């Protein structure tokens, strides 16, 4: 109970706990991708899988993205105001609303799958259309699970929030691999049926996740129910809750639509630019597969920090605002940025440094050089993909919605205008540079607005960045020397390459940690004092 209390009081601990569960989920996603890519045995099918999830994620965001954040905000707010009756009614209303929205999203994706499929791939759209229709079923169940998670996010129950994420992923992967193996190796069906089973797993896992979190809810809710029975004041009326939920959700919804526009651009604009630059359809298919399957899996490792800390930001910032604690707001903002940078930058850099052996040992590919090139470029996007959701959600939580939405619209326009022409001129690297130009504008302008409105100094953040870069230089030199000695070379057998790559990475990370500890980065980021008595944090 004492540890649970500490997590609820600290945005760093809350963010790390939330990230931990998501990291386990993403790690499982990477591990299953290794055998799954062999089961599919086809880069086009891998591309279909990744492209379909781009569309699915975007439709899910369109209909539900703002509501989990709104639910967490309201639950946190009325918990601070000691109104358990309203807290319980928020849960009931939000589950009903997200069920309805998810149902509408499911029908629309099924209806338009035949129109979207030809735009997304270079070959026969029939299989892609079927994949989208199967995946659409999940749109009914996943929002319900999101409502429960938003509720417990608002209560700062980050342990359950993290466990729910990991449980859902474990169940999904278990079903996916079992069904795919059964169809391909036992029943000897065409591999497209394994593809269909893989997307059906999202629905199956969502149902299992709902069952799990409902079980937790029966125990945890009793305490709030008892408090509500003892409450003498009335709760908000249902219509008032719906109105507040919608008003809170709309800015988050717009933010999600704009923030995840990259998925639509990758699904529609990127293929158009690639077809104009590369004469070979096989080359285009390899790049799309590496982008939407391998790239998504690998860059998800550092980017898992974003949803983990975003989940912690909402209740902690909302509580601080409700209590009018400006100093705590300032501390929470700087703590979030410092920790995300200290963890996210080296992880992204390692993906860049080991992109060739990672592709060689873990994934099926027809063109190792192309897959490596794609992953190296995508590691740049992984940095902005880690930082931007944290900064934009800080803006949202700090009641700066109009300012952040205006900048996100500009960001989406810049990205949309630049992506095709820059890809046509420079190939895949041009698409990434177009995103970096737009994302760089959004990141720095948002930081500036937070500084102006809340008088926040980023001195500690920039100190962390500078010192981490020194550590990354040491990591890079160590990695290059070890690779030169043969540790992690792609010329060896896959199993040997994988083992030596891990040894190379471990030694290089140890060097990074030694350098950053010597530069006192953990003290700046985590307020952890290593090698000397603890003093008051500056």
SS (H, E, C) 242-280: HHHHHHHHHHHHHHHHHHCHHHHHHHHHHHHHHHHHCCC
Give the pLDDT band of residue 30 (cuts 50, 70, 90).
low
Instruction: Indicate the average pLDDT of the chain.
Output: 82
| pLDDT, position 67 | 85
pLDDT per residue as tens digits for the range 479-535:
999 988 888 777 767 788 888 888 999 999 999 999 999 999 988 887 766 655 544
Give the pLDDT band of residue 226 (cuts 50, 70, 90).
confident
pLDDT per residue as tens digits for the range 404-460:
888 988 988 998 899 889 999 998 889 899 989 999 999 999 999 989 988 888 999
Q: How many CB atoms lie within 10 A of CB 387?
A: 24
For the cut 50, the answer to whether the pLDDT of residue 4 exceeds it is no
> CA torsion angle for 308, 311, 312, 314 (degrees, to 10)?
150
| C-beta contacts of 177-182 below 8 A and 24+ residues apart | 177/32, 177/35, 177/36, 177/39, 180/36, 180/39, 180/40, 181/39
Q: Which of 536, 508, 510 has its CA nearest to residue 523?
A: 536
For the cut 80, the answer to whether the pLDDT of residue 264 exceeds it is no
Residues 332 and 320: beta-carbon distance below 8 Å: yes
For the cut 70, the answer to whether the pLDDT of residue 10 exceeds it is no
CB burial of 453-464 (b: ≥16 within 10 Å; e: otherwise) equals eeebebeebebb
DSSP state of 42: -
| More confident: 315 or 273 | 273
Tokens of 306: 């974003």
Please state, in angstroms and rounded to a whole number, the distance separating the CA atoms of residues 425 and 428: 9
Please state, in angstroms and rounded to a whole number, the distance separating the CA atoms of residues 97 and 94: 5
| pLDDT, position 20 | 60
For the cut 70, the answer to whether the pLDDT of residue 43 exceeds it is no
| pLDDT, position 494 | 79
| pLDDT, position 536 | 43
Residues 420 and 337: beta-carbon distance below 8 Å: no
Q: Which of 297, 303, 287 has its CA nearest to residue 348?
A: 303
Please state, in angstroms and rounded to a whole number, the distance separating the CA atoms of residues 512 and 508: 6
Tokens of 494: 């896959």
The CA distances from residue 69 to 94, 146, 147, 350, 494, in Å, are 11, 10, 9, 32, 43
Please state, in angstroms and rounded to a whole number, the distance separating the CA atoms of residues 307 and 385: 10
Residues 366 and 282: beta-carbon distance below 8 Å: yes
Q: Which of 478, 316, 465, 292 has its CA nearest to residue 381?
A: 292
Residues 527 and 537: beta-carbon distance below 8 Å: yes
The CA distances from residue 265 to 258, 420, 518, in Å, are 11, 9, 43
For the cut 80, the answer to whether the pLDDT of residue 32 exceeds it is no
Percent of the chain clearing pLDDT 90 (strictly above)? 20
Give the position of tokens 């009335």. 234
Q: Which of 77, 80, 123 has its CA nearest to residue 248?
A: 77
Give the pLDDT band of residue 464 (cuts 50, 70, 90).
very high
Task: Give the predicted TM-score (pTM) of the model.
Answer: 0.67
Give the pLDDT band of residue 8 (cuts 50, 70, 90).
very low
Within its chain, how far is the Cα of 161 from the centroid?
14
User: Radius of gyration over alpha carbons of the chain, in Å?
Assistant: 23
| pLDDT, position 305 | 62
Give the position of tokens 């700087």. 334
Please state, in angstroms and rounded to a whole number, the distance separating the CA atoms of residues 30 and 414: 32
Q: Which of 312-316, 464-468, 495-499 has the least mean pLDDT?
A: 312-316
**Residue 136, Cβ density class (10 Å: 0-12 exposed, 13-18 middle, ≥19 buried):** buried
**Euclidean distance between the first and the last CA atom of the chain, given in angstroms as a whole number:** 29
For the cut 50, the answer to whether the pLDDT of residue 150 exceeds it is yes
| pLDDT, position 532 | 52
The CA distances from residue 273 to 113, 125, 139, 235, 285, in Å, are 22, 19, 30, 54, 13
CA dihedral sign of residues 528, 161, 260, 356? positive
| pLDDT, position 1 | 45
Q: Which of 295, 253, 259, 254 has its CA nearest to residue 443?
A: 259
> Reduced to 3 DSSP states, what percent helix, strand and coil does the chain have, rounded to the nearest 5?
85, 0, 15
Give the pLDDT band of residue 14 (cuts 50, 70, 90).
low
Q: Phi, psi at residue 531, to the nearest 5°?
A: 85, 5
């Amino acid at each position: 109970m004492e540890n649970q209390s500490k997590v609820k009081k600290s945005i760093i601990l809350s963010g790390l706990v939330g990230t931990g569960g998501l990291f386990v989920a993403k790690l499982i996603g990477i591990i299953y991708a290794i055998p799954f890519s062999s089961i599919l045995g086809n880069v086009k099918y891998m591309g279909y899988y990744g492209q379909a999830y781009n569309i699915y994620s975007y439709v899910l965001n369109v209909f539900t993205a703002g509501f989990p954040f709104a639910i967490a905000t309201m639950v946190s707010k009325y918990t601070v105001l000691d109104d358990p009756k309203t807290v319980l009614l928020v849960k009931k209303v939000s589950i009903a609303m997200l069920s309805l929205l998810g149902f509408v999203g499911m029908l629309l994706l099924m209806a338009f799958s035949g129109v979207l499929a030809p735009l997304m791939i270079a070959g026969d759209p029939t299989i892609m259309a079927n994949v989208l229709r199967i995946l659409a079923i999940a749109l009914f169940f996943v929002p319900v699970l999101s409502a429960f998670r938003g509720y417990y996010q608002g209560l700062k129950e980050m342990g359950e929030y993290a466990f729910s994420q990991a449980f859902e992923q474990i169940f999904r992967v278990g079903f996916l691999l079992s069904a795919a193996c059964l169809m391909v190796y036992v029943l000897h069906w065409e591999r497209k049926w394994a593809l269909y089973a893989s997307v059906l797993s999202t629905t199956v896992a969502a149902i299992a996740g709902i069952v799990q979190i409902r079980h937790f809810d029966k125990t945890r809710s009793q305490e709030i129910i008892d408090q509500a029975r003892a409450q003498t004041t009335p709760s908000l009326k249902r219509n008032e809750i719906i109105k507040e939920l919608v008003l809170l959700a709309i800015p988050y919804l717009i933010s999600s639509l704009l923030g995840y526009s990259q998925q639509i651009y990758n699904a529609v604009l990127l293929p158009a630019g690639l077809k104009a630059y590369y004469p070979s359809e096989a080359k285009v298919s390899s790049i799309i597969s590496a982008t939407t399957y391998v790239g998504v899996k690998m860059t998800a490792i550092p980017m898992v920090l974003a949803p983990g800390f975003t989940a912690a930001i909402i209740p902690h910032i909302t509580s601080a605002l409700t209590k009018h604690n400006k100093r705590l707001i300032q501390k929470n903002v700087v703590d979030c940025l410092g920790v995300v940078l200290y963890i996210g930058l080296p992880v992204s850099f390692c993906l860049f440094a080991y992109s060739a052996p990672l592709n060689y040992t873990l994934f099926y590919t027809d063109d190792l050089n192309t897959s490596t090139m794609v992953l190296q470029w995508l590691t740049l996007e992984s940095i902005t993909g880690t930082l931007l959701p944290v900064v934009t959600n800080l803006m949202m939580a700090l009641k700066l919605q109009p300012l952040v939405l205006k900048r996100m619209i500009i960001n989406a326009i810049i990205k949309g205008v630049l992506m095709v022409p820059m890809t046509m001129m420079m190939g895949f690297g041009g698409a990434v540079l177009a995103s970096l130009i737009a994302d760089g504008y959004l990141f720095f302008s948002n930081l500036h607005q937070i500084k102006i409105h809340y008088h926040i100094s980023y001195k500690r953040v920039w100190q962390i960045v500078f010192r981490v870069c020194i550590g990354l230089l040491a990591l890079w030199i160590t990695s290059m020397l070890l690779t030169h000695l043969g540790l992690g070379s792609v010329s060896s057998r896959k199993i040997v390459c994988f083992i030596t790559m891990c040894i190379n990475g471990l030694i290089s990370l140890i060097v990074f940690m030694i350098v950053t500890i010597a530069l006192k980065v953990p003290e700046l980021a985590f307020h952890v004092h290593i090698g000397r008595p603890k003093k008051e944090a500056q």
